[in-house]
Amino acid sequence: MLEPSAQPAIESPVSLWRQRVYAVGSAMRRAPLLPTIGVVTIIVCAIFGPLIAPYSPTKTDLMNNMAPPVWDGGNWSHPLGTDKLGRDMLSRIIHGARVSMSLSVAVIILGGSVGIMLGLVTGFMGGKADAVVQRGVEAVLSMPLILVALVFMAAFGSSFTNVIFILSPFIAARFCRMVRGETLTIKGLDYVALAMVVGSPTLRTVWKHILPNVLNTIIVLATLEVGALILVESSLSFLGVGIPPPRPAWGLMVADGRDYIQTQYWLSLIPGLAILLSVMSLNLFGDWLRDTLDPRRRQL
């Protein structure tokens, strides 16, 4: 008697997601040391800032204002010195990481979620909806971000919420364009066409076959955009239209110390270095993650 032919095994959506998570986890074991240390330091400061900061970032002490850092004749009670109001610079740097990371993550979650959804839908469905959305994406990306933010903040005032609101559409447009391009490539593959032929619902096809295969791109883009958002937020705060005082934003700290750059250089130098090292660490980490998760680059 003839045995029934063996049916090919079909991977479930859960197994596909597990493969993606395992790929990210295994890649993290080979992460470059210095960028990883920088990224971990920023994350730790953002999460545990109130616990590890030695002082309150807004506590003033006019008797100890303009105290130099420890390498310039200061003492270990304020290792990075104090500002013109006697606020501890180390505590403000730590809390500044919390402000920058919380804002960047909020913008990535809000704008990135919208961009991913639009990119998946328009890339898979096409048609007039795709054309309309892409014209909107092009319009948003053609606008000068800093100038738009300056006009918006002048009209509605500067606040943490307003900065998130004005930056989210630009992040959504970038995610939408990237995810749409990946979706257009993947939907032309044989296994996606086969799923549509056998009657798989559109939502299931997108969730099972499209989204897991663009997840690597989303992770890399999110990592790179965090560094870009820190730089934009610092620029807006430096111009006085970002995070309002007394919250310790890095850009605002640089602006506060620019009048004393020749005598009390640490007031601008230390937060400037925090911005530089944070953005460099995130960009280098994102570049490494892109090379690691892209199978075409791994073969080079």
DSSP letter for each residue of 252-272:
HHHHHHGGGTTT-THHHHHHH
Distance CA 87, CA 81 (A): 9
Decide if 76 is inside a domain. Answer: no
Q: Mean pLDDT, consecutive 10-residue segments, the chain of 300 residues?
A: 44 56 62 86 91 90 88 88 91 92 93 92 84 91 89 86 92 92 81 73 76 85 91 90 87 90 89 93 87 61
Is 21 within a domain? Answer: no
**What pLDDT score does 280 carry?**
93
- Within a domain: residue 249? yes
Residue 193 counted as domain residue: yes
Q: What are phi and psi of 177, to 5 degrees?
A: -65, -45
Q: Is 176 part of any domain?
A: yes
Sign of the CA dihedral running 163, 169, 174, 179: positive
pLDDT at 1: 43
- What is the predicted pLDDT for the residue at 300? 47
Q: Which residues, listed in sequence order, are joined to residue 88 by a DSSP beta bridge?
A: 82
Number of folded domains that form the chain: 1
Report yes or no on 68 lying in a domain: no
Tokens of 49: 């800032």
Whole-number pLDDT of residue 123:
86
Task: Check which CATH number belongs to the domain holding 266 and give it.
Answer: 1.10.3720.10
- 197 exposure class (CB count in 10 Å sphere: 0-12, 13-18, 19+): exposed
Residue 66 domain-assigned?
no
Q: Name 79's Cβ contacts closer than 8 Å, sequence gap at least 6.
A: 69, 70, 90
Residue 122: inside a domain:
yes
Q: Rounded distance, CA 218 to CA 193, Å? A: 23
Task: Please identify which residue in the block is written with the tokens 């970002």.
Answer: 242
The per-residue pLDDT for 261 is: 87
Could you give the dihedral angle defined by the CA atoms of residues 229, 231, 232 and 234, in that order, rounded to the nearest 10 degrees?
Answer: 120
Range of the domain at 256: 92-293
**27 conformational bin, left if phi > 0, alpha if psi -120 to 50, beta if neither:** alpha
Is residue 82 helix, strand or coil? strand
63 phi/psi in degrees, rounded to 5: -70, -20
